[in-house]
Amino acid sequence: MELLLTTTYTLFFIFIIHRMKFFEIEGISKRTLSVLFVLKILFGVMLWGIYTFYYTDRSTADIYKYFDDSKIIFDSLKQHPQHFFRMLLGIYNNTPEFQPYYEQMNYWARKIDGSIYNDSHTIIRFNAFVRIFSLGYYNVHTVFICFLSFVGLTGIYRTFFAVLKDKKQELLFAVYLLPSVLFWGSGVLKEGLILFALGLVIHYTNRLFNAKAIVICFVMALLLALSKFYVWLAIVPSLLLLIWTNKSGNSKSVLKYLLIVFVIALVGLNIDRFTSVQNPLVTLSQKQIEFKQLAQGNFTDAYHKPIPIAGSMIVIDTLEPTLSSLVKNSPKALLNTFFRPYPWEVKSPLMLLAGGENIIILLFILLCIVYHKPLSTVHWEYVLFCVSFVIIQFVIIGETTPVIGAIARYKVPALPFLLISFLFILDKDKMLKGFPFMKKLLSQ
């Protein structure tokens, strides 16, 4: 039955890809898009297989933690449908009558809480909603999350295709085919929802000046903030720069960006002085403490068994809730996020995937630097857009995450933007003269 449902929904979403105007992209056929979508599903099923038959502890596997908790919400639909919809939508669902549901869930509440929304709620609610269609079969959820992720990636592709038409094959690889994006971005995880919201908010921000785009941007920005708050935080300066340059032209992009960052930093670092919102530096420091405790085995799992020490744990500098500590730790945080795992740290097939991908990305960056365009012809507003998002996200991840495996997964939403930023610098004609054998592969 699971195979039948999974195949049926796959064909249904392929039909949507062929019918929706959103997927009409110059230079890419609907057949190619369908193949890319099916490839994502295959990687999603591969992730399910690894965490079902290789890493068999269901209580610690993220693909199952939120999926299993969602059943508690879904089961309320038969007896108390009003409870189901209130928990699903988050409407007046914190009253005592809902406590019995939450007490049965293992990951609705977290061990250490700050003032930021618990983003586990979003993926649990997504799974509870999809259970209406899946009959509880896991890989139906894989198909649904793959489609949402694919929509988001297509939004990213459409945004940058307009200015990278001469590099559409390279852009396609950067957006759809990076191994980590295919693997982690195709599982029933927060990354799928992040890519969905991120792609659409960028795509519609680029065409913001109509009512439809404004509504979609607002909804997707909210979903992004509820799925992973620091990703929303990292993309805000880029979005503001995009709006400003679209409205006033791309001259003085660097100055505009610096002004945006200054204002955001000024407001953000003092937000606790005039609101009840916790200072973001305190939040980052708390997140680091929480993650260190988890990595060191100081927590128990859903079945009250001690969580083992993380096999890929690394030492990161203690982050104090001060700007000076953040700045001091940032270079090492960036290095950890960019380059690890180092070759000698690879201990598993998943780490081998991340390490091999790092090497590919570094070689690509070197290629773009060697065969760069005249700097005066570069679209610096788009380079700034991508680089800003990557660096802010990489710093946050590196400052708070002491586990290499988690770093490799958390940086997935930023990886396409890292490659895209260097595509703007690359002189393709110059590169093809240096590597003539690539002409047939990358011919337009």
Distances (CA, A) of 334 to 233, 326, 400, 409: 17, 12, 11, 15
Please tell me whether residues 221 and 336 are part of one structural domain: no
Q: Residue 304: what pLDDT?
A: 64
Q: Residue 117: what pLDDT?
A: 47
Q: Residue 441: what pLDDT?
A: 62
Q: How far apart are CA 234 and CA 255, in angstroms?
A: 19
Q: Residue 71: what pLDDT?
A: 93
Of 227, 255, 275, the position where a domain reaches its end is 227
pTM of this structure: 0.92
CA neighbor of 159 nearest in space, from 239, 233, 215: 239
Burial of 243 (0-12, 13-18, 19+ CB in 10 A): middle
Q: Residue 118: what pLDDT?
A: 58
Please tell me whether residues 185 and 254 are part of one structural domain: no
Please tell me whether residues 210 and 239 are part of one structural domain: no
SS3 content of the chain, % helix, strand, coil (to 5): 75, 0, 25
Please tell me whether residues 184 and 240 are part of one structural domain: no
**In sequence order, which ranges of 99-228 are alpha helices (DSSP H)?**
99-104, 120-134, 138-161, 168-176, 179-184, 190-205, 211-227
Please tell me whether residues 266 and 314 are part of one structural domain: yes
Per the structure, the count of domains in the chain is: 2
Q: What is the dihedral of CA 117, 123, 125, 129, to 10 degrees?
A: 160
**Tokens (6 digits) for 76:** 């309320």
Please tell me whether residues 30 and 149 are part of one structural domain: yes
Please tell me whether residues 236 and 184 are part of one structural domain: no
Please tell me whether residues 186 and 304 are part of one structural domain: no
What would the DSSP string read from start to end of 206-265?
TT-SSHHHHHHHHHHHHHHHHH-HHHHHHHHHHHHHHHHHHHH-STTHHHHHHHHHHHHH
Of 203, 227, 251, the position where a domain reaches its end is 227
> Which residues are bridge partners to 300 per DSSP?
306
Q: Which residues of 304-318 are buried (b: 16+ CB within 10 A; e: fewer)?
A: eeebeebebbeebee
Residue type, 186: S
Helix axes 81-89, 120-134, angle to 10 degrees: 140
- H/E segment holding residue 423: helix 415-423
Structural domain containing residue 386: 230-444
Give residues with Cβ within 8 angstroms of 349, minimum separation 6: none
3-class DSSP assignment, residue 28: strand
Please tell me whether residues 199 and 264 are part of one structural domain: no
Please tell me whether residues 418 and 435 are part of one structural domain: yes
Residues 424 and 164: beta-carbon distance below 8 Å: yes
CA 193-195-201 angle, to 5 degrees, is: 100
Residues 196 and 156: beta-carbon distance below 8 Å: no
Please tell me whether residues 76 and 156 are part of one structural domain: yes
> Which residues are bridge partners to 38 per DSSP?
none
Residues 120 and 66: beta-carbon distance below 8 Å: yes
* Rama region for 249: left / alpha / beta (φ>0; ψ in -120 to 50; rest): left
Q: What is the dihedral of CA 410, 412, 417, 419, to 10 degrees?
A: 120
Please tell me whether residues 281 and 343 are part of one structural domain: yes
Distances (CA, A) of 172 to 11, 112, 373, 378: 23, 40, 20, 20
CA-based torsion, 109, 110, 111, 116: positive or negative: negative
Of 227, 253, 271, the position where a domain reaches its end is 227
Question: 317-357: per-residue pLDDT in tens?
Answer: 999 999 999 999 999 999 999 998 888 888 888 888 888 89
* Positions of the chain with pLDDT under 70: 110-118, 299-306, 438-444
